[in-house]
Structure formats: C-alpha cells, structure tokens
Amino acid sequence: MSDTTPRLTHLDNQGHAYMVDVTAKEPTVRTAVACGEVACSPAIMTALREGTVPKGDVLAVARIAGISAAKRVPDLLPLAHTIGVHGCEVDLALEHDHVAIKATVRTADRTGVEMEALTAVSVAALAIIDMVKGVDRSAVIRRCGIVAKSGGRSGDWSRDLP
C-alpha cells in the first residue's frame, strides 16, 4: 500500500482479515444513528396507515426486530466486537411512498455502534418486507446508511443521506 491508500482497519499488513484488538482502549460513551427506507405500493401505504395489513402490526414487529438485531451483530459480522448495547431506539414513520426507519444505538464501550445501528435499520426493513410481501412483492429497501456518530477517538460526524 502506498501512503495515499487508506488503510482498512480489519486487514493486517499482509492483507489478511483480523479482528482489531481494542483491549487498551478506554470505554467511552458512543452513539450511532442510521436511516433507511422501505418503498411500498400505494395500497400497502394505505393499509399501513389504516392498520389493515393481513399479518398484523407491521411497525411494531419491525421495531422489535430492529432492536433485537442490534444486539446480535457479533453473530452476523465475524469481525465485529461483542459490546454492550446500552440503548437502542428504532423509529418508524409512514411517509408518502415509503416507511422511513431511523435507529439510534448507544453504548459505553471500547468501540463504536455503527454496525449495530445499520443492522437495526436493515433488519427492521427486512421485517417490513416480510410482513407486506404477500400483498406487495414490489416493496424495496433503499438508502440505508449511517447519518451520525459521536464519541470515540474520531469524535462526532454527521451527514444527510443522498
């Protein structure tokens, strides 16, 4: 690698994947926020607003699925650290043509919770798809990404999703 090539933290000097050792890092309060969307047909958006989706309360299932998923990240991502998820909120909003999903995850640990926030949004989105697929096979997950983080060595960061 040249000096201008960014160094990927999960690769050693030979390019082999490894788990970063965070033993010496001090625990700090950290927060990450991720957002995403599930675009749905007008019929499903109406059914979501009226609470008439045949499988039941889609938003409640998605919220619980997202929270549960945030706590399971090390089971899904082989190089992720096991950390204490001390807080997780999954908010869902019915917009004109989509369900907006926002997950905020907090910890006081040695590494950040960006993967936990992304996983919460992704699994909440999958739960929505699972709940509506019998009526709307065209539902699609889009625009999933980290929009803010705070704490840790790199400090605070935020952006709007494109």
> How many other CB atoms are found less than 10 A from the CB of residue 25?
13
Q: Which two tokens stand for residue 119?
A: 């996983």
* Phi, psi (deg, nearest 5) at residue 20: -65, 135
For the question of residue 130 being annotated catalytic, the response is yes
Report the 10 Å Cβ neighbour count for 145. 15
Is there a contact between 139 and 129 (Cβ–Cβ < 8 Å)?
yes
Q: What is the CA radius of gyration of the chain?
A: 18
Strand partners, 132: none
Of 21, 91, 130, 160, the catalytic one is 130
Are 96 and 45 within 8 A, CB to CB?
yes
Residue positions annotated with a catalytic role: 130
